[in-house]
Structure 1
Amino acid sequence: PAFTWEVRANDRNYHRQFKKRFAFCLTKQKYAGNAIKTAKYNVFTFLPLNLYEQFHRMANIYFVFVILLQTFPVISTLPWYTLLFPLSCLLIIRGLRDLIDDIGRHQSDRNINSRPCEILSGKSFRWRKWRDICVGDIVRLRKESFVPADMLLLCSSEPSSLCYVETTDIDGETNLKFRQALLVTHQELVREESMAAFDGEVTCEEPNSRMHSFTGTLAWRGETYPLDSERILLRGCRLRNTDVCYGLVIYAGFDSKIMRNCGKIKQKKTKLDRMMDRLVIIIFVVLLVMSLCLAIASGFWARMFQEKHSYLSAFYKHTTPAQQAFFNFWGFTILLSIIIPMSMYITLEFIYLVNSFFINWDLEMYYAVKDIPAKARSTSLNDQLGQIEYIFSDKTGTLTQNRMSFRKCCVNGTIYGNFWWKQVCRDSRDSRVTWSHRVEKKLDFCDVTLLEVAQRDNDPVLREFLRLLALCHTVMVEEKGDQLVYQAASPDEEALVLAARSLGYVFLARTQDTITISELGKKKVYKVLAMLDFNSDRKRMSVLVRDPQGTIRLYTKGADTVILERLQRRGPNETFTERALDRFAEETLRTLCLASKEVSEVEYSDWSRRHHEASILLQGRAWELDKLYEEMEQNLQLLGATAIEDKLQDGVPETIQLLKLGNIKVWVLTGDKQETAVNIGYACKLLTDDMEILEEKEISEILEAHWVCNNNSSGSGEAQCSSRSSQQHPKASHHKKRAIIISGDFLDKILHTGEVLKEKRRLWRQLACCRAVGSEQQGSLVEKAFVDLATSCQAVICCRVTPKQKALMVQLVKKHKKAITLAIGDGANDVNMIKTADIGVGICGLEGAQAVQCSDYALAQFSYLQRLLLVHGRWAYLRICKFLRYFFYKTFAGLMAQVWFAFHSGFTAQPLYEGWFLALYNIFYTASPVLSMGLLEQDVSAKRSLEFPELYVVGQQDELFNYRVFGITFLHGVSTSLCSFYIALWAFEDHVGSKAVGDYESFAVTVATSALLSVLMEIILDTKFWTVLSFVMVAASLLLFCLFSFLTQSIDAFRIAPAIFCFPDASRNALTDPYVLLVVLLSLVVNTIPSLTIHLYHTMTGKTTIQQKIRLKAKREPEPSVELRAHVSHGSFHRRSSYAFSHQEGYAGLITRGDSLR
């Protein structure tokens, strides 16, 4: 990056002279102020901006277009208010929602910008507000305060200017981070006068969104000092355990890294949303076709009429039949435009919102232990919860508790910590089977033999083993009373340090260059020469120390895959340790290898010099340091291995079993070793003993056979393909229970990781394919073949995968199977996967809140997933589908009569109904019963939903709403409108007499009433779950129809505006006539009999979906109970382990400077 960002301390005038162009020739200050504005509108821009945003919706533009057509009297067939009124309601409701949201943003901006802070002004600090901060200011922060801008840490009240910060609001992680000031600023800037005189100049990269990266220099008094992210306090951090610190503002306001990361989140759309968009387009096209056909018919009718009634030619002399057809086309377009359901969208949003409240209020998903309720963070995805086909789950913290307990270890070939010692520990509490009285009660490890060996202190390997646990870590410590409280970057680290403490090796304190520990009661101080930091590529960390005797030693811990290959020799001890690692993995324990070596003074002096040179580089620093770390971490001596237990969460096996019965496949994507993940799979019922386990060798053979089948065009090749594919085709053997277990390295050869062709050529070479694979299309065949194979299996476990690979796995299934996916995790490494999936669920766990912050739904336990999907998801899908079905039905049933009326009115686009009926039909007359169905409908209770998970298949197969269902709904609505119209027409044609009601207005009221009652009866027949609100909603529809009919058809209203209220007393005249009432009743009966007959037939023959699924319950075999036990690897299982050490990189360089001893 270009180092063009220059910051001078205590010099605001210098920064104000710089401008930058942002639009055409307009300029603004290069260095932004610290005030932020996340609100979208102000008093003057709300109306135009909000309308501009709302008219980005094509439906709104269409309705405005139709309203504009209504302004032309020659083609207008409906009163102006029939579309303007519902459109106004829609715009107002959405506008009010946006306004309320923006008022909240304004309030939040005001609160943040008005936070108090201390800014150096002159020679003293004065209280100001955050918005007053400028680049180059020096700010004083006090304990528990938030950092107002991105700042260079100058000094702090802690020894060596160490600073403790919490970054929960930035990355969601709850553990403390550490920052360190430069030594020169720590020593020189000790008073306010010296800070006021400070004139250093920082040169660094331009503002960017890289949260964990910063490169720059500080020039002061003729010297230049390198700066990196370890010196920077980011906006949004909170100062912890540090009384006072001082910082120089580098980036302010929207230039700060946290604000640069506040980009727009990609809006997720559900399957039904996408289908709805297509259906509205289909309806619009059908509307235009009907308008065109009716317009053409009107032209022919006009010509025939003129020829037959030539004496009326004076009325047609200004328009030809073609012109008449043209005008009628637009007239019919206006008349039929109300068939597109405008009010459906706003009603849908309300249903989504209320169903989200149901999730939030569900006490069955409330975790009382930690006071964590379920939270629907997205309100527009509820129905998709009922259509999930694949669940991608993290293991640690999601399936397991992420509460690490040191259970076993192997030292010098001897295994300690067998579980039968637990009873001894319980019976020996008074005698204390641990060394230190400070050991917390939560420690689960207990082995009297190991403690006795440690106390005798005659085993040098065990001594080095425990010493490594006490020295090689990034834990910080503080003393509270008589207890040492550890701040660890991960639960693994804390468990290892606590285990060492229980065995007599107690970590006491650290400074920037020393670590103090107590070895069996003797305090020793080790000088820290270097910390070789952890990262996801190295999979290990090391510490280089000088012991009190002057000997230099390197202590290393990490994954066995990286430690074992760096050993000086392989002997019996190493063999025993590898076997112990296998045993630990079979018991679902997380493993770690420990090693050390002695370093000579000559080797260290040369390495230290090169290490210092690499550490001050501005370009390629990390790469050079990694090379030096690799050089030092060679020829190690193995000390042993540790085993940490991460227990299953409550209810995980039962939940996975229910999800499998609901035809939901669960894939586990984890960074753990294969054996650990496999045994967790057995423990949680994801894997069963009757499954055929496919590993990388078998998968390669199957993919090879699939490749041959798809690429061999010769006759012999086809015969070979036929014989092999019957056994090895990815989609074959569906009757077998299969599971796939693969590693991240194998996935790299399949997934699209950036070197597509290279990786795929390598894969096919390994599969012994002679054909050249060089195209993207051929590479895609690899992916599709793998996905076909994986999705045909009952379970998939991917071990040793990176966060990027997790997201790519999700993307792969979405791409090739078009399936609805759900990803669930609890850590920052799950965020990418959660964002990629159709539904993202965050677990409120011990790894911070970032997964929750990026999720669509937040839960406290994995077991709550069964209720979220099988109850709330299925209900939401049922409700939304029924709502859509009946909304379309009632629209077609009530309004298609306009088309039939055209055939009897000379195709003149004359509206059948009163304008107010058209305007209020979808908003008031029929909205409330359909709304009630969308909010409260249930086919079975929550208990039955969990008892019969097979019911969930309905949503996966789109049974309740699809193009076929829409077509049936359309025909049903058309038939209802036909019956309502033609029964009334037949009755009115023969209705004569002095008191007979046969006028146009009464006919329109009769058809409208028949259609309305038929729609309400259809909803009543199909409602399965009745509540008081359901009855109220149906009654409200009838009452609103009567009320508005009285108001809009009153004589007084007609006298005031006869053009608007043009149906005076029409309802009273028609509906008080017994003959009309009989006609309405006849229409209701005719429209209801078919639906009632179908309902009775399905009930009597048992063809309802629910009964079909419930019958499967009786056929289901009882599931055997599953207990946690070791499953010995078979087939091609081989142990190349995962890594149980799970903190982030960057801590080593931080903790080597500063004092944590209180």
Structure 2
Amino acid sequence: MNIDVIWCVIILIILCVIGAVGCKMWLKSFEGMQIPFLPFEVNPSYEGLLTFWTFVIILQIMIPLSLYVTIELCKILQVYHIHNNVDLYDAQTNKRSECRAMNITEELGQVQYIFSDKTGTLTENKMVFRRCTVNGIDYNHPPSELEKQYLKPGSPVPPVIANPTLFEDMTATLGDRITYTSSAQRIQEFLLVLAICNTVVVSATPHRDLMNASGVIEDDQGTVTIVRPNESIANDQRAQGSTLSDRYTRLAESRSITPSPPPNTSLKQHVPSLSPIHSSPEASPVSESPTKVHRQIPVSPTVRAKSIITCKINAISSVLRNKNSSRSNLENRSQISPLRNQLLQQSPTNGRPIFEAESPDELALVNAAYTYDSCLINRSPNHVLVNTPGGGVTEFEVLKVLPFDSSRKCQSVIVRRNGTQEIILYTKGADSSVMACLTPCSPDSVEGHLREKTQQQLDHYARQGLRVLVMAKRVLTPMEFVDWLSRHKECEMTMENREKKVRESFVNIEKNLTLLGATGIEDRLQDGVPEALSSLLLAGIVIWVLTGDKPETAINVAYSAKLFNPQMELLRLTARSRDAAETSIMFYLNEIERSLVDGPSGSRAKARALVVDGKTLTFILDLRSNLTKPFLRLTKHCASVLCCRSTPLQKAFLVKVVKEELQMRTLAIGDGANDVSMIQMADVGVGISGQEGMQAVMASDFTLSRFRLLENLLLVHGLWCYDRLARMILYFFYKNATFVFLIFWYQLFCGFSGAVMIDQMYLMLYNLVFTSLPPLAIGVYDKFVPEDLLFSRPQLYRYGRLGKAYKPHTFWLIMLESLYQSLVIFFIAEAAYWDTDIGIWQFGATIATSSLITMLLQCAIEIKSWTILHVLSIAISLGAFYVFSIFYNSVCVSCLGLPSSYWVIQTSMSTSSYWLISLLTAILAVLPNYTIRTFVATIWPDGGTKAILQKRRNERREPLIMGISIRL
């Protein structure tokens, strides 16, 4: 559009130059004689220069300045309707769509590439602990009937049903019935990693996010329960754990004065994490004010801290004892069903802790550990309190937290059990990272067989679509830890390449690990995702799914989501070197090009899908490898692409290269903080308001609650918005150009003097009032294809994806049409009034009326779906013209210093020639356009026209009439 506006400026300059030259030539024709209508001598060149600027003023309507205002108004109304559309409202989550960008609605109808995250975007992000492997044994946790109660979006994560075999193996002892077997100790340590290697905190009350999808902080209507410790309970508990309570008393006192957690700790580690799990009978709810002033009975900080911690320990220990007593009464597996029911009934009201996690994965692992009596009781920046199956309540000193990052793909914590000098590093992360960091061993050794079996089980988990994590540990000597810590602090203090050096320091300590076990977590697909992806693929949109999962897991999910189908040819890039990556890419490219030469029709019918793993992606995106362009050439032959083990920066870079190298319009959709860079890089960013905070939502242009709503947003609203704006802009160019040409033709009869036959008030109100509503009706409410047809025929989206509504040549066709219609309007009126004594204002009133009726008829031809609003826009425009004209010509004899047009319109309306000219010119002006449109729609109907005609035949239940099929 901006290029066409430049062309409008050029056309305006050309018309002004022609007018200036015409004025000069007209005046020069009187050279040597007295000009009868000029009492003084004139300089033709000087007058021509002045006339140039006169034409700039009277023809400036050629530059559609009001078009920009109309476009913005249309977009605001489009955003309003998208925001309030009931089809984009999700009743289960009680969330509706949010439009955070007001100026890109038309780009929703032109998307060519979609880049999507998987976890939380295509899936529920409700992680369910499904399988684990320890000591090479697979422990399954199959779905239960009670899990159906948790399928509704927004419901809590279903509890884990305990595996009795794992309980037996976890508590297996030697002959002395005191010492656990090595396998049992490994299981217990595996569960300990699940409980402490995370950022989970224990809360007294469930967390409620106060920020909505619009980024507005809502008022907190929740209540906070303040515990008033029972003195008798507190006195009984002081004797049981004085040492432990004193330590946490000092911690509570210090935090109450200077709450400054280290950078690696979560912001959720605040004082409420030290609050009791449940309230005592004397508890009373108090509204939480912004200043967080809590009412409580006077009690010393020491006594209060002791009571809080011991109350929490006893509450959780009581729950665990009840669970253990229930299990001890079960001697065979036939009695497991009552146990399951009892475990499911554990809730915060009866002592079960409330875990709050930054990631649903961590929450699933901590809940699984709790099921097997490895319960996280409390967490502070420097200490972790855990109830372990073999050791009861145990306190660990946190020496260092190694947070997760996308390069290492793992997270670690270095702890020391209180009362011992043993320092242990616990790690959990992706199998590709952790398995490579294990202590080297012989494949024939016991440890080697264990790793091989574990890897086989991990591959099996991945093929089932489960997200896999591996747990490992390393025992450090005090000297090793002190030496590493000193070097690590130097890395943290450096000013150059700090992040890289810190990451390398983490890698140096996360090696020579011992395998503990692995987990498989299920993340179900959201409802409607397969159907939405199928429709988007049928619409011709290329879909890339960028995930951090294993290739096997991602491929399984891709088939389940119908991103891949069995008829697709699956291409895989899994190289371990730059040369291998280049060889694979060139091999596939040569095969595809050969198939195009041998059998082009069959090869086009064969859809392809591409799978790229993380290491290959690293080689491809390395600018020194020169593999980016060959890779993009390969992806152009694929309907969908799956990138596995991708990092946030890789996601953003992929969007960038596709947008810049392929010149494609891109859309990125995600739900987490790791998707922000990708969302911001794309032309259109869509955020899913899910489980992982509001970062993606705040960075996005549009917000949805479920992925399936993207189908409606793009295929319906996006296509409508694009088509509406395209036709509205072209109509604006048409009506402005027609009006300018009418004024220009009059210059042939007034010596290019810059005189105008239309009253100045009409000129001012032409765009503002008389022709403002019909473009708005087209730009906001017109539907070129009904909604149901857009859903049933996603292929119609190619109309917007290929930009068919607004091609570069369309502007020039509009200019030719304006030129023709202006000739018809002006010269028919000029011929009708030839050799009469009609005045200039009466002639101008006829021209203004004819042009307005013609433009309204042209608008009627453009309208695809008539509603009462379209009818009113045309009726009000025509009515406003006549009401204003009659009033203005009746009362304004010499208004505003303008020439008098008193009673002009009344005189014109009283003659038959006025009505005949107005109607005849309007019909003749639009007749060619209407005829051509009818002919094209009959002989070469587009997809939308075919769909509408087919729908009408089906509604009338008429047989399909064979038409003429012409193939060029």
- TM-score interval w.r.t. the shorter chain? 0.7 to 0.9
For 1:1069 and 1:407, how far apart are their aligned partners in 2?
A: 87
| Matched residue SS, 1:1009 | helix
Partner of 1:587: 464
**Are 2:585 and 2:634, in contact at CA under 8 Å, matched by a contact in 1?**
no
Structure 1 residue 288 corresponds to structure 2 residue 13: yes
The 2-side partners of 1:806 and 1:627 are apart by: 23
**8 A Cα contact 1:705 1:725, kept in partner:** no
614 and 1105 in structure 1: CA distance in 2 versus 1, 3 angstrom threshold: closer
The corresponding residue for 1:747 is 617
Aligned-pair CA distance for 1:880: 0.6
Judged with a 3 Å threshold, the aligned counterparts in structure 2 of structure 1 residues 629 and 277 are, in CA distance, closer, same or farther, namely closer
Q: Which runs of 5+ in 1 are unaligned?
A: 1-275, 430-439, 711-719, 761-778, 992-996, 1115-1158
User: Measured at CA, do residues 614 and 1038 of structure 1 come closer, stay the same or move farther in structure 2, by a change above 3 Å?
Assistant: closer
Q: CA RMSD in A?
A: 3.3
Answer yes or no: is 1:927 the counterpart of 2:757: no
Aligned residue among 677, 687, 693 for 2:554: 677
TM-fit CA distance, 1:1068 = 1.3
Taking a change above 3 Å as real, the CA distance of residues 608 and 840 of structure 1, as seen in their structure-2 partners, is closer
- Cα 1:1091/1:728, change in 2 over 3 Å: closer
Pair 1:445–1:1094, CA change in 2 (3 A):
farther
Q: Aligned to 2:858, which of 1018, 1022, 1025?
A: 1018
Q: Does 1:635 align with 2:512?
A: yes
1:298 aligns with 2:23: yes
SS at match of 1:391: strand
**Distance 1:832-1:826 versus aligned 2 partners, 3 A rule:** same
Q: Which of 856, 877, 892 is matched with 1:1053 structurally?
A: 892
Kindly indicate whether the alpha-carbon contact (under 8 Å) linking 2:170 and 2:185 is maintained by their aligned counterparts in 1: no
Counterpart AA for 1:1054 = V
**Residue 1067 (1) aligns with residue 912 (2):** no
Q: Using a 3 Å threshold, how does the CA distance of structure 1 residues 618 and 660 change in structure 2: closer, same or farther?
A: closer
* 1:566 and 2:443 are equivalent in the alignment: no
TM-score by length of 1: 0.64
**Which residue type is aligned with residue 737 of structure 1?**
A
Change (3 A) 1:290 1:895: closer
SS of the counterpart of 2:795?
A: helix
Please tell me whether residue 645 in structure 1 is matched to residue 522 in structure 2.
Answer: yes
* 1: CA distance, partners of 2:147 / 2:761: 80
- SS across alignment from 1:862: coil
Match of 2:833 in 1: 988
- Kindly provide the CA deviation profile for residues 924-980 of structure 1, in whole angstroms up to 9, marking residues without a partner as x: 111111211111101222222211211111111211122221111111111111101
Q: Distance in 2 between matches of 1:582 and 1:815?
A: 37
Q: In 2, Cα distance between the equivalents of 1:931 and 1:707?
A: 52
Does the Cα contact within 8 Å between 1:488 and 1:494 map onto a contact in 2? yes
Kept in 2, the 8 Å contact 1:892–1:973? The answer is: yes
The alignment partner of 1:1039 has SS state of: helix
Bigger helix share: 2
Aligned pairs (5 A) from 1:113-192? none
2:15 counterpart letter in structure 1: M
Amino acid in the other structure paired with 2:813: I
Taking a change above 3 Å as real, the CA distance of residues 1081 and 639 of structure 1, as seen in their structure-2 partners, is: same
What is the deviation of 1:651? 0.7
Residue matched to 2:158 = 442
Residue 917 of structure 1, aligned match among 757, 762, 770: 762
**Cα distance in 2 between the residues matched to 1:864 and 1:352:** 20
Alignment of 1:375-394 (within 5 A): 375-394=98-117
Further displaced range: 1071-1080 or 311-320: 311-320
Counterpart for residue 868 of structure 1: 713
Deviation of 1:689 (Å): 1.4
Corresponding residue of 2:824: 979
CA contact (8 A) 2:530 2:562 kept: yes
CA deviation map 1:971-1015 (0-9, x unaligned): 111111110101011111155xxxxx6222221111111111011
Please list the CA deviations of residues 507-552 of structure 1 after superposition, one character each: whole Å capped at 9, or x if unmatched.
2224554433223375232432523412313322333334467344
Aligned to 2:785, the other structure's residue is in SS state coil
Aligned residue among 553, 557, 564 for 1:687 = 564
**What per-residue deviation string (whole Å, max 9, x for no partner) do you get for residues 804-839 of structure 1?**
211111111111222111111111111111111111
Q: Equivalences for 1:184-583 in 2 at 5 Å?
A: 276-306=1-31, 310=33, 312=35, 315=38, 318-417=41-140, 419=142, 422=144, 442-456=158-172, 458=181, 459-478=184-203, 479-481=276-278, 482-520=351-389, 522-528=391-397, 530-536=399-405, 537-547=407-417, 550=420, 551-568=422-439, 569=441, 570=443, 571-583=448-460
1:608 shift after superposition:
5.8
| Amino acid in structure 2 at the alignment position of 1:884 | I
State the alpha-carbon separation in 2 of the partners of residues 566 and 744 from structure 1: 17
| Alpha-carbon separation, structure 2, partners of 1:815 and 1:674 | 27
List per-residue Cα deviations over 1:141-174 (Å, max 9, x = no partner). Answer: xxxxxxxxxxxxxxxxxxxxxxxxxxxxxxxxxx
- Distance in 2 (alpha carbons) for counterparts of 1:1034 and 1:540: 65
Provide Cα deviations, 1:545-600, integer angstroms capped at 9, x if missing partner. Answer: 34467344332222212221222225111000001111111111111111124334
CA contact (8 A) 1:526 1:545 kept: no
Q: Structure 2-normalised TM-score?
A: 0.76
Q: 1:728 to 1:603 in 2, by over 3 A?
A: farther
Residue 1033 (1) aligns with residue 863 (2): no
Asked if the contact 2:159–2:367 (Cα under 8 Å) also holds between the matched residues in 1, the reply is yes
Tell me if structure 2 keeps the 8 A contact 1:898–1:911. Answer: yes
**Higher strand proportion, which one?**
1
Match of 1:736 in 2: 606
- The question of whether the paired residues in 2 share the 8 Å contact of 1:706 and 1:725 is answered with no
What is the CA-CA distance between 1:626 and the residue it aligns to?
Answer: 4.9
Tell me the CA shift for residue 733 of structure 1: 4.8
Q: Distance in 1 between matches of 2:564 and 2:550?
A: 16
The 2-side partners of 1:731 and 1:476 are apart by 60
- 1:750/1:511 Cα in 2 relative to 1: closer, same or farther (>3 Å)? closer
Q: What secondary structure is seen at the aligned counterpart in 2 of 1:460? A: helix
Give the Cα–Cα distance (whole angstroms) in 2 for the partners of residues 1100 and 876 of structure 1.
26
Tell me how far apart the structure 2 counterparts of residues 443 and 957 of structure 1 sit (CA, whole Å). 49
Q: 1:1024 & 1:503 partners in 2: Cα distance?
A: 65
CA distance in 1, matches of 2:506, 2:114: 39
SS state of the match for residue 535, structure 1? strand
What SS does the corresponding residue of 2:803 show, helix, strand or coil? coil
Tell me, in whole angstroms, the C-alpha distance in 1 between the residues paired with 2:771 and 2:492.
72
Q: CA deviation at 1:637?
A: 1.8
Query: Any idea what the Cα deviations from partners look like across 1:1109-1132, whole Å, max 9, x if unmatched?
Result: 679999xxxxxxxxxxxxxxxxxx
Q: Deviations over 1:74-119 (max 9, x none)?
A: xxxxxxxxxxxxxxxxxxxxxxxxxxxxxxxxxxxxxxxxxxxxxx
Checking the alignment, whether the CA contact within 8 Å between 2:574 and 2:612 is kept in structure 1 is no
1:948 and 1:1110 in contact (8 A); partners too:
no
Q: Is the Cα–Cα contact under 8 Å of residues 408 and 416 in structure 1 kept in the other structure?
A: yes
SS at match of 1:379: coil
Secondary structure class of the residue paired with 1:750: helix
Cα–Cα, structure 1 residues 474 and 746, in superposed 2: closer, same or farther, change >3 Å?
Answer: same
CA distance in 2, matches of 1:594, 1:706: 35
Match of 2:753? 908
